[in-house]
Structure 1
């Protein structure tokens, strides 16, 4: 049986990015990990992933969860470095 860490290790995203997908879509981490593979296949999917994290930050800010905003901002910075939005 695979652990959640095994599933995450199989993905091309880190745990924070996968957790952000799960939070945004209200799905389990394992499903979010599978979803990440689909999102990373196209420039549109990568853009959608960026949008998800930004929307999570906006929601956390509106909810007054400032530490979560900071954590998501760090996750977003990592995403920008590892999977930038295509300019083409």
Structure 2
């Protein structure tokens, strides 16, 4: 049986990236994991994930949650370093 950690490792995303997708789409982590796994394997999907994380950063700033915005900025930085199609 696969654990959620096994699924995260197979997705080519970090847990923080998956959580950002879930935050943006208002869905549980396991559903965000499935969506992220699908999206990360397409160039347009990587761009969509980049936009989701950027939107989450803006939402955190707007509500004054600067700590969460900083965490999300690190998440976006890592995503852009590891998923080159998302940088377009």
1:39 and 1:10 map into 2 onto residues whose CA distance is: 13
Tell which deviates more after alignment, 29-38 or 4-13: 4-13
Answer yes or no: is the 8 Å Cα contact 1:39–1:49 preserved in 2: yes
Q: Look up the match of 1:38.
A: 38
1:9 Cα deviation (Å)?
1.9
Q: Look up the match of 2:70.
A: 70
Residues 1-88 of structure 1 mapped to structure 2, 5 A cutoff: 1-84=1-84, 85=86, 87=88
- Scaled by the length of structure 1, what TM-score is found? 0.90
1:38 Cα deviation (Å)?
1.2
Taking only aligned residues, the RMSD between alpha carbons, in angstroms, comes to 1.4
Where structure 2 has 5 or more consecutive residues not aligned to the other structure, the ranges are: none
Runs of 4+ in 1 over 4 A off after TM superposition: none
